[in-house]
Amino acid sequence: MDPCILRVSGLSKSFGAIQALDKVDIEVARGRVHGIIGPNGSGKTTLFNCVTGLLKPNAGSVTLDGVDITNKPASWIANRGIRRTFQAGKLVPGMTVLENVMSGVNDGVATAAIDAAFRLPFVPSRRETAIRDRAMRILSLTGMDGSAGRWASDLVWTERQLVQMARALIAEPKLILLDEPASGWAVREIGEGRGDHREDPWHGDDRSSSES
């Protein structure tokens, strides 16, 4: 097994005359938390965009868990285990907090979340109920479970960051990339634990039914 979950080698990306990434090498050890620090415009978001397939690098390679994911489509990469948040707090504004989190499940079980998003008059399936329960448990980790029914468009910046994290986590990714997760937060809030961290969001009694 590759000890690195992510290997970025010689990654370069330019926008016209702007060299946003210049032969970047990064190794992310399995099970570890890494930080990428740089001033505004130094290429952090561009790096995330190249790793997650939103941008095509001009050169270099990216491997996830030993698999070459360079230049693969974003959805393909997401389904193989990289999830991310966006600096601008991207959520679907016309969906509730809970529906946004539910929409983060992998493609194989996405149908129920889409049904929920479009509010079809139907009796919730076992699968949808399981996804909903899991989404609520993950939301509780972020302290946002009390906002499950609010519209995403009504959230403030920091709340959008928390919901994005929950949406990324529900897919049980191998690797999660957080783009400026602490932006807009007071220093006091960053160090504050939110939600109940004693609870395991994935290994409750709904796990088997959520995969059926």
Gap between the Cα atoms of 102 and 87, Å rounded: 20
Minimum distance, C-beta of residue 69 to Mg ion, in the bound complex (Å): 21
Minimum distance, C-beta of residue 207 to ligand ATP, in the bound complex (Å): 36
Give the count of residues interacting with ligand ATP (CB under 6 A): 12
* Token representation of residue 112: 């129920």
Q: Can residue 137 be called a binding residue for ligand ATP (CB under 6 A)?
A: no
Neighbours of 97 (CB within 10 A): 28
Choose one: 34-42, 88-96, 110-118, 153-161; the region binding ligand ATP (CB under 6 A): 34-42
Choose one: 41-49, 51-59, 108-116, 161-169; the region binding Mg ion (CB under 5 A): 41-49
**Beta-ladder partners of 28:** 6
Choose one: 42-50, 63-71, 78-86, 164-172; the region binding ligand ATP (CB under 6 A): 42-50
Smaller CB distance to ligand ATP: residue 20 or 178? Answer: 20
Residues 150, 204 contacting (CB under 8 angstroms): no
Among ligand ATP, Mg ion, none, the one that 103 touches (CB under a kind-dependent 5 to 8 A) is: none
Residues 77, 13 contacting (CB under 8 angstroms): no
Among positions 78-117, residues that touch ligand ATP (CB under 6 A) are 87
**E strand segments, the chain:** 4-15, 18-29, 59-64, 67-68, 82-84, 175-177
Q: Can residue 141 be called a binding residue for ligand ATP (CB under 6 A)?
A: no
Smaller CB distance to ligand ATP: residue 172 or 180? Answer: 180
Among positions 80-99, residues that touch Mg ion (CB under 5 A) are 87
Instruction: For residue 150, give every residue at least 6 positions away whose Cβ sits within 8 Å of its Cβ, in sequence order, or none.
Output: 96, 97
Q: Can residue 45 be called a binding residue for Mg ion (CB under 5 A)?
A: yes
Neighbours of 155 (CB within 10 A): 20
Gap between the Cα atoms of 92 and 191, Å rounded: 28
- List interacting residues with ligand ATP (CB under 6 A): 15, 18, 20, 38, 40-46, 87
- List interacting residues with Mg ion (CB under 5 A): 44-45, 87
